[in-house]
Amino acid sequence: MTSIVEAATGRHGFEVAVILGSGLSDLARSLVGGSPVPYSAVPGMPLSTVQGHEGALYAGEVAKVPTLAFAGRVHLYEGRAPSEVTFAVRAAVEAGCRIVILTNAAGGINPDLDAGSLCLISDHLNLTGSNPLTGPNDDSLGPRFLDLSEVYDASLRAMARSVDQALMEGVYAGLPGPTYETPAEVRMLAAMGADLVGMSTVHEAIMARYLGARVLGLSLVTNAAAGLSPEPLSHDEVAAVGARASGRLEIVVRGVIERAAHLGAPAKGEQGRERPT
């Protein structure tokens, strides 16, 4: 059967998908190039309403590895359901991708993560109040009770660190937004163990693991989280920092794709260890 991505791009056999968040859409062009397919021409793809999210699919090769780059994503705060937020990941895995690289703009909670820092996501706190796997389970796709003890793949993180030794690692707290946090919420998140805070990624990561893909998460810290700096937070600043720091992000993403081509899917035992509730 023709996949959604094949219907839109005329190509199949992809191995890696990169999803690009706020201010990072330009990276899709420099990474993959070619002529993008607007999301409106991808059957079923939800359209992004946020400035800084282009809404186009780039299909091509990065370091000879067939790669899809999604320039722009949709979020819960746009009124989208978890099934829509995870549409791109599902389409990417259907198109063959076994590695999903999730990028985002995030606020830095850990004081070592100041604006412009790039940070590997080591784990997450899903504080959105929702889960993309809620509802009937299709056992042919993945397990009812998905093990999340290693959402963000350790081998991919090691590869990213071999490309950029200065990369830090941190726990990403995913909130629904669309407001930025209050200073009290940021203190709560710090006490809960979060280093980063943002409004995306956690649902996509869960879905990618469910479908058996390896996940790499990369946050570009665009601002100190609320209350940690005297500056008020603004989306324009988030997008501008994203655009400025995208060169370093591109080097890491390209380096990981080069190194990860041979990895393939995680062994069944690495995924889907079911635990009864």
Question: Is 200 tagged catalytic?
Answer: yes
Can residue 32 be called a binding residue for ligand HPA (CB under 6 A)?
Answer: no
Can residue 225 be called a binding residue for ligand HPA (CB under 6 A)?
Answer: yes
Can residue 195 be called a binding residue for ligand HPA (CB under 6 A)?
Answer: no
Cα separations in angstroms, 144 against 72, 127, 136, 138:
29, 20, 9, 8
- In the complex with ligand HPA, the residue whose CB is nearer, 108 or 266, is 108
Amino acid at 238: V
Beta strands 168-174; 65-71: pairing state: unpaired
- In the complex with ligand HPA, the residue whose CB is nearer, 107 or 170, is 107
Question: Under a CB-based contact definition with an 8 Å cutoff, are residues 258 and 67 in contact?
Answer: no
For the chain, the residue count is 277
- Per CB under 6 A, contacts with ligand HPA among 229-268 are 233, 238
Beta strands 214-224; 118-126: pairing state: antiparallel
Comparing every residue's Cβ against ligand HPA, the nearest one is: 107
| DSSP per position, 70-123 | EE----GGGT--HHHHTHHHHHHHHTT--EEEEEEEEEE-STT--TT-EEEEEE
Can residue 107 be called a binding residue for ligand HPA (CB under 6 A)?
Answer: yes
CB of 42 to ligand HPA, least distance (A): 25
Question: Under a CB-based contact definition with an 8 Å cutoff, are residues 205 and 120 in contact?
Answer: no
Of the candidates 48, 104, 110, 200, the residue annotated as catalytic is 200
CB of 240 to ligand HPA, least distance (A): 12
CB of 101 to ligand HPA, least distance (A): 18
Question: Under a CB-based contact definition with an 8 Å cutoff, are residues 194 and 109 in contact?
Answer: yes
Of the candidates 8, 15, 22, 92, the residue annotated as catalytic is 22
Rg (CA), the chain: 17
Can residue 181 be called a binding residue for ligand HPA (CB under 6 A)?
Answer: yes
Neighbours of 111 (CB within 10 A): 10
Can residue 76 be called a binding residue for ligand HPA (CB under 6 A)?
Answer: no
Question: Is 203 tagged catalytic?
Answer: no
Give CA–CA dist 59/92, Å, rounded. Answer: 11
CB of 191 to ligand HPA, least distance (A): 17
**Among 64-72, 111-119, 147-155, 217-225, which window interacts with ligand HPA (CB under 6 A)?**
217-225
78: tokens are 């746009």
Give CA–CA dist 85/74, Å, rounded. Answer: 6
Can residue 172 be called a binding residue for ligand HPA (CB under 6 A)?
Answer: no
Question: Is 75 tagged catalytic?
Answer: yes
CB of 174 to ligand HPA, least distance (A): 9
- In the complex with ligand HPA, the residue whose CB is nearer, 62 or 194, is 194
Q: What residues act catalytically? A: 22, 53, 75, 77-78, 105, 199-200, 223, 235
The residue ranges that bind ligand HPA (CB under 6 A) are 105-107, 180-181, 197-199, 222-223, 225, 233, 238
